Amino acid sequence: MPRPEALPRTVRLLLLARVVNRLGAFSLPFLTALIRTDHGASLTTAGLVTAAFGLATIPSRLAGGRLADRIGRRSTIVLGLCGCALAQTAIAASRSLPSAVAGAVLLGLAFELYEPPSQALVSEAVPPQHRVRAFSLFSAAIAAGAMGAGLLAALLGRWDLRLLFLADAATCLACALLIRLALPRDRPASRPAETAPPIRPLRDPRLVSVLATGTAYALINQQTVMSLPLALAREGRPAADAGLLFTAAAATTVLAQPLTRLPAIERLSTPAALALAHLLLAAGLTGYALAHSLPALIAATAVMSLGDLLVIGRAYALVADLAPPGAAGRYLAVFGTSWGIAATLAPVLGTQLLAHAGTTALWSTSAALCLLLAAAHLRVTPRSPNELPAPGRRLPSPRPTAHDG
């Protein structure tokens, strides 16, 4: 396998900043516990607060895309990270339930500002043929930081859950400082010509189809993460085993990066690669339904992580390729709302299915949905414009652009 070209300095700095930021991103799973233990809220109330956070991330993601294209990438990233630090500090300092709720909503409103500009920077800094690799490395950076985050959470959480939020705030500020000092200054956004039609991502049917399948994938992903500890406990296994499975998933994401550069994988069209990814997810979820031992669960987790790795790299590269010039931030922001929708719905759907049908039905239903998504990708997912046949070959029928209609 030939040695891959070095990524641009901007992308390498963003990867480093992502690891730094992710090292502290261990407080969110403990938000419900903090609200219950420190403020005496019921489980239902704590769940509603977490859902409110998830809802707030949707306008946050959209605002991040618009700000990225208006005030600049670096400025938006720094603004989002500082907002997260402020919200985390407010949660740690809260002395009443209303103040904790306000901090959680503020955190949601700032939480996703970082994503669209950082993803837009990646899409602009690398040539189209390297975007899949760059976005795959972004997911690996998140996974690498997550492994360290789990260890820090285990240490700090023994003393006081509030320390987790303060540590998260500190890493957000450290990441903001790194971005502010290392990335080049934002260039003033060019004003669109008077006659140029406005860019409306949701009028692009190609993006809408990718958003629909991406939301279904995000829902399966989030439902699996949130339901796994409960499912393990229901089967009589320690809920703490979920931590081992999450670590196995992160390690697989990091170690399997070279697989994305195999010629057989790189030659796959985006619809075919995404279909393969969902077949791997279906196989892993079927393994969860059938597994009766920890090694079997770890093996199923590794298979699912390979599917996740293929989805993240291909999906975000596709969205960046579909965006008109200067609109990558907004296209990626709209696509990213799939995670906010999933974060809001997954706790409800997963727990209800688990409570009324059991673990085998939970994982089997999720696997069946992945099979449906694999078939859907082959029919509705557009090819990247960079994958169209070379001149002289028969071209597919024209697809509408973001300005059509």
What is the tens place of the pLDDT at every residue in 293-338? 889 999 999 999 999 999 988 998 899 889 888 777 788 888 988 8
Q: What is the identity of the amino acid at 80? A: G
Residue 269 dihedral angles phi and psi, to the nearest 5°: -65, 160
**Most confidently predicted of 46-50, 222-226, 227-231:** 222-226
pLDDT tens, residue by residue, 356-399: 888 889 899 999 999 999 999 999 999 888 765 544 444 344 33
Residues 260-277 have a mean pLDDT of 90
Q: Where in the chain is the domain with CATH 1.20.1250.20?
A: 8-186, 203-386
Q: Which two tokens stand for residue 191?
A: 């004003």
- Give pLDDT, residue 154: 58
Share of the chain above pLDDT 90, in %: 24
The CATH H-level superfamily of 8-186 is MFS general substrate transporter like domains (1.20.1250.20)
- Give pLDDT, residue 392: 43
Helix or strand run (H / E) with residue 10: helix 9-23
Could you tell me what percentage of the chain is helix, strand and coil, using 3-state DSSP and rounding each to the nearest 5? 80, 0, 20
Helix or strand run (H / E) with residue 293: none
- Give pLDDT, residue 158: 62
Residues 196-211 have a mean pLDDT of 83
Instruction: Considering only CA atoms, give the Rg of the chain.
Output: 21
Identify which of 188, 75, 74, 79 has the alpha carbon closest to the alpha carbon of residue 125. 74
- The confidence band for 152, taking pLDDT boundaries of 50, 70 and 90, is low
Whether the pLDDT of residue 60 is over 80: the answer is yes
The CATH H-level superfamily of 203-386 is MFS general substrate transporter like domains (1.20.1250.20)
Distances (CA, A) of 82 to 57, 233, 304, 398: 16, 38, 34, 44
User: Which is higher by pLDDT, 180 or 328?
Assistant: 180
Q: Is the pTM here over 0.95, yes or no? A: no
403 alpha-carbon distance from chain centroid: 28
User: Which is higher by pLDDT, 33 or 337?
Assistant: 337
Please, are residues 273 and 309 in contact by the beta-carbon 8 Å criterion? no
User: Which is higher by pLDDT, 172 or 195?
Assistant: 172
The DSSP-derived string for 164-184 is HHHHHHHHHHHHHHHHHHHSP
Give me the residue label for tokens 């899949």.
132
